[in-house]
Amino acid sequence: MRLSAYFLPTLKENPTEAQIVSHRYMLRAGMIRQATSGIYSWLPMGLKVLRKVEQIIREEQNRAGAQEILMPTIQPADLWRKSGRYDDYGKEMLRIEDRHGRDMLYGPTNEEMVTEIFANAVKSYKDLPKNLYHIQWKFRDEVRPRFGVMRGREFFMKDAYSFDIDFEASKAAYNRMFVSYLRTFERLGLRAIPMAADTGPIGGDLSHEFIILADTGESEVFCHSDFLEKASPSADVDYSGDLQPIVDDWTSIYAATDEMYVKEDFEGSVPEDKRMQCRGIEVGHIFHFGTKYSEPMGAYVLNSEGENVPVFMGSYGIGVSRLLGAIIEASHDENGIIWPEAVAPYQVGLINLKAKDEACAKACDDLYQKFNAAGVDCLYDDRDTSAGAKFKDMDLIGLPWQMVIGPRGLKNGVVELKNRKTGEKEELTLEAALSKLGL
Ligand code: 5CA
């Protein structure tokens, strides 16, 4: 993409309404714009990262055996009357009346709808297990929307729902999601810690929140520092095998949010020099709730003895849009964002220091074509502006690599390659620089 043609409205000044760094940088780097409180438009670069995050989540859900569907954002209230949550959900639910006077709502989550779909289609234990997920916008009329996409009113969520014949099978489904979450967050360049959690309005008896440690997080958390070094399950993890040992390994050391924190357990099980009391961002939340929805919604199947039994269920959420904020909170410096390679909007920023110089423009245009031909996503700053402004914008945007081409370097047959994360700059021949970028 040529920057001269790109819709990238960067801001020089910090927007006053943004209290935390991720919100400031998302606005300044031209990723999002607020439509109204807690509701955002996604501009090209923001959307590009959102799609990359979404795709990694999708790949890991598929790998773990979940199947993608897409349910609507608008749901009939009657569905929620069946489960009893229409009244329970309170003011967080955005309620709408259609032209026929029927009560509708903008879905804050989809347990009811997916259970209804399942109940109408599956009648036998032979069709189990099933795990259906979608990645869809949700609406919760939060009392205090804040921190940009971190606590929005409209936000993008991945929600998966598992259906099993009994508790044991359902626990195995829970474990598959648990392991896939460890892999997902690892791929996103994050260390997420599974913590025993409260189940809130979703309900159930077993629940973990996946939390990224960050000073700006909304939750207070207590955990063992060994979590920071633990190796995540590898890509070849066998989802058809017994995952309990992995789950046990990740839940045997102490980690709890403040709602579940017990001082004696924390201090009794974690040596003093390994105790971490800090703040965290909840990026995922998984729940096992047995028959809480299947019974009222009529999701029954015949078991192997010919008895009609309610299915055991779990639900598994990831805050897709929140993750962009969380990644930036975890990876930035005073100049801007530092994108992990896996989600970077572009792999390399090509900076032409002198757009009016013919030799420079020619060298950069050639390089840009080379990148495009090789499938390397490149953002090409071909604008006729000052070098200083170009460097500032490129640092703010936070692409992993910057390749700088100027008239002096060209004469000497070298380009400058900067690693955004380490700040390291090297003067290299073009060939050496390209080979460093894997070309
Ligand atoms: N039905 C269940 C699991 S599918 C559910 O809704 N869980 S949840 O309420 O915990 O939400 C799942 C994830 O969505 C959270 O872990 C969080 O990362 C994200 N999330 C929740 N509320 C918001 C919000 N207001 N803004 C941005 N992300 C949010």
Q: How far is the CA of 423 from the centre of ligand 1 (A)?
A: 35
Question: If you take atom 16 of ligand 1, which residue's CA is the nearest one?
Answer: 284
Q: Which atom of ligand 1 is nearest to the CA of 150?
A: 27
pLDDT tens digits for range 280-293: 999 999 999 999 99
Q: Which atom of ligand 1 is nearest to the CA of 323?
A: 18
- Whole-model pTM: value is 0.96
Q: Are 342 and 371 in contact (CB under 8 A)?
A: no
Q: Is the pLDDT of residue 206 over 90?
A: no
Task: Please provide the average confidence, as pLDDT, over all residues in the chain.
Answer: 96
Tell me, what's the pLDDT at 188? 97
Angstrom distances, CA of residue 223 to CA of 62, 245, 270, 273, 287? 30, 20, 8, 12, 20
Q: How far is the CA of 147 from the centre of ligand 1 (A)?
A: 15
Tell me, what's the pLDDT at 112? 97
Q: Is the pLDDT of residue 406 over 80?
A: yes
Q: How far is the CA of 138 from the centre of ligand 1 (A)?
A: 9
Query: Which of 83, 322, 329 has most ligand 1 atoms within 8 Å of its beta carbon, as the pocket-test mutant?
Result: 322
Question: If you take atom 29 of ligand 1, which residue's CA is the nearest one?
Answer: 319
Q: How far is the CA of 300 from the centre of ligand 1 (A)?
A: 27
Tell me, what's the pLDDT at 409? 94
Q: How does residue 273 score in pLDDT terms, banded at 50, 70 and 90? A: very high
Question: If you take atom 17 of ligand 1, which residue's CA is the nearest one?
Answer: 319
Q: How does residue 203 score in pLDDT terms, banded at 50, 70 and 90? A: low
| Calpha distance 325→320 (Å, rounded) | 10
Q: How far is the CA of 282 from the centre of ligand 1 (A)?
A: 8
Q: Is the pLDDT of residue 353 over 70?
A: yes
Q: Which atom of ligand 1 is nearest to the CA of 209?
A: 16
Q: Is the pLDDT of residue 199 over 90?
A: no
| Calpha distance 144→38 (Å, rounded) | 9
Total length of the chain = 439
Tell me, what's the pLDDT at 82? 95
Q: Which atom of ligand 1 is nearest to the CA of 286?
A: 3
pLDDT tens digits for range 18-57: 999 999 999 999 999 999 999 999 999 999 999 999 999 9
* Percentage of residues of the chain with pLDDT beyond 90: 96
Tell me, what's the pLDDT at 196? 87
pLDDT tens digits for range 107-132: 999 999 999 999 999 999 999 999 99
Tell me, what's the pLDDT at 202? 67
- Ligand 1 shell residues, CB under 6 Å: 109, 111, 140, 142, 151-152, 155, 157, 159, 202, 282-285, 287, 315-317, 319, 321-322
pLDDT tens digits for range 56-93: 999 999 999 999 999 999 999 999 999 999 999 999 99
Tell me, what's the pLDDT at 154? 98
pLDDT tens digits for range 163-182: 999 999 999 999 999 999 99
Q: How far is CA 384 from the centre of its chain?
A: 36
* Percentage of residues of the chain with pLDDT beyond 70: 99
Q: How far is the CA of 197 from the centre of ligand 1 (A)?
A: 13
